Structure 1
């Protein structure tokens, strides 16, 4: 009989990988009752699960600097298959997320990898959500795989070493966002420094990546984003310019000055975007808004261009003058750092 995902998670968290040495990992696989077949491309781990074989990630030349004697960095076990569209993938991830949360409690860490995942991997095009149940010496992670959700058992230190060393201050050196709970499991967890966008082109690209996948990722994670964005103006003051709201759909609100008409830049009223009443019941607060759609629907680039063009038109001079409100840093029980935007938080 094949384990449920929750049962599999319990077996993985209780397993001993023997320091992730070759002998330790072979014993881990045998203890799980799985088969090991050597192949030219690496070990094939037969699990008997419908979602397919498990994969081991060996430490290669790119990963050696982050490892501390481990021969392998992760055991990835597919736990679900879904159609490739964003809605189906997000729903499959969410179903596993709900099952694991009921069995293990809330994850220690949640977030989105963006275009740069651990050890410089790229993720699926629909989104890159992840959840981690952090422990030592190993951490269990739910990650978006290429065909569906995957459970990852990994030694804790290498993946955290990799993340820490990305804080070099270069544009796009860290992508996505990273949230952690105030929980004993996160004791000793480090947070790298971020980076600052140096051009409006960089801001546009970062916002495009963030907005295009956001409703799929918040749906998958079972959370929401409520992000006010402020603009420092030459005459003084930093009024709110935008509100980014996303759970299962992405809505953008614009608080334009009374003497400015943003309709030419792509904004509409509630008459054009009636679905936004679920977010902002008052038709005039904000007056200007966009219903960008659900998983897989937003045009990230077009939305980003609208936001940047509007900010510049009302007088925001540089990317350093565009500020993410500190309120956005709290998503349910998680404190979140929006590394991938390259914008100040205040």
Structure 2
């Protein structure tokens, strides 16, 4: 066993991903999980209160998640809902974590193909887990009966093998309409792997304070998450003002976050915190030099001050005559990202 574990320690992320996808999980019963762990060449005592699986990997041991209080309502015979295997350890700053996730994602994608699902868990992960503060990106290779997810863990990215139904049942049943009932965003391809995939209902922000919180959370983590996921988000925001719904903002984020403001002549954007290309020269490659005139370069991973940006945008929207949160609208163009159909659940804003 020690020799086998020694060879696994040098196993690449891609090879580990292939083995996990091919593994027989036995319905995630106690006996099935014991066989799974043994088949992977790892060690687990199988005691009811023991969740650590010794892998011999330099990045740390794996963890089993047994069905407990928060998982019970979403399972159908499973005793465990995931096996999480750390695949990299990075410094705690957002840039290092995003880069480690990107590297792992590229390696697994080369082995398994493009993920059928991607997004961010926001601050509410599966079964009410909280994610890292820098961001909570994930990609999934959805299958039946099991799914492989690459997830942002506490010290670095983790490969998570899980039964498909429990996590999806949990997510679907969060669509209860209450504020912040679902966070993050969720994107899926139209691949046959997503056949039967269900989508929960969303929720609508009922106060400007709710918009400020949700928008701030989204913007603060966005460049770290888009860097990790290898995507670029272009999100126009429109404001209904009683006469129409002109574009107010353009959020553009790849490895840096830039926000443009389309302000009318009768307000003073500079007084609200907006600058021009002179103050934010990095935005010249994102927006035309004079369209929009007003913009801000919010920075790369870990740099955006999400709350302050959200307060500035909300103040600008209200100065433009947007009287209610329901009148701030995410442009439908933002729903298509690199071949994924994306829903921004955590924003609580209408899409149109």
Q: What TM-score results when the alignment is normalised by the length of structure 2? A: 0.97
Secondary structure, aligned partner of 1:191? coil
Choose the corresponding residue for 1:241, options 244, 248, 255. 248
Count of aligned residue pairs for this structure pair: 344
Say yes or no: does 1:344 pair with 2:346.
Answer: no
Give distance in 2, aligned partners of 1:43 and 1:273: 50
Match of 1:128 in 2: 136
Partners of 1:52 and 1:40 lie apart in 2 by 21
Aligned to 1:291: 297
Q: Do the aligned residues in 2 keep the contact of 1:38 with 1:44 (CA within 8 Å)?
A: no
1:256 aligns with 2:256: no
| Aligned-residue offset at 1:166 | 0.1
State the Cα distance separating 1:259 from its structure 2 match.
Answer: 2.3
Report the equivalent of 1:17. Answer: 25
Q: How far apart are residue 39 of structure 1 and its match?
A: 6.5
Paired position in structure 2 for 1:208: 216
Q: State the 1:260 CA deviation.
A: 1.9
- Tell me the residue number matched to 2:52: 44
Task: Indicate the residue corresponding to 2:3 in structure 1.
Answer: none
User: SS at the partner of 1:142?
Assistant: strand
Please show how residues 80-229 of structure 1 align to structure 2 within 5 Å.
Answer: 80-229=88-237
Unaligned runs of 5+ in 2: 1-6
Contact 1:195/1:342 (CA < 8 Å) preserved in 2?
yes
> Within 1, Cα distance between the matches of 2:88 and 2:48?
26
Q: Does 1:329 align with 2:329?
A: no
> Secondary structure at 2:322's aligned position in 1?
coil
DSSP-derived class of the 2:161 partner: strand
Report the Cα distance in structure 1 between the residues aligned to 2:74 and 2:348, rounded to whole angstroms: 25
Give the TM-score, by structure 1 length.
0.98
Over residues 86-122 of structure 1, what are the superposed CA-to-partner deviations in whole Å (9 max), with x where a residue is unaligned?
Answer: 0000000000000111111100100001010000000
Alignment of 1:313-328 (within 5 A): 313-328=319-334
Shift of 1:127: 0.4
Q: Give the counterpart of 2:308 among 302, 316, 336.
A: 302
Distance 2:278 2:51 in 1: 58
Q: How does 1:261-280 map to 2 (within 5 A)?
A: 261-280=268-287
RMSD in angstroms over aligned alpha carbons? 0.9
Render the CA deviation track for 1:56-84: whole Å, top value 9, x for unaligned: 00000221110001000000000000000
Per-residue deviation, residues 277-335 of structure 1 (Å, max 9, x unmatched): 1101x221000000000000000000000000000011001001000000000001000
Q: Distance between the aligned counterparts of 1:22 and 1:5, measured in 2?
A: 26
- Which residue of structure 1 lines up, in the alignment, with residue 76 of structure 2? 68
How many Å separate the matches in 1 of 2:82 and 2:46?
Answer: 17
- The list of structure 1 runs, each at least 4 consecutive aligned residues, that deviate by more than 4 angstroms after superposition, is 38-41
In 2, Cα distance between equivalents of 1:278 and 1:179 = 27
Segments of structure 1 that go 5 or more residues without pairing to the other structure are: none
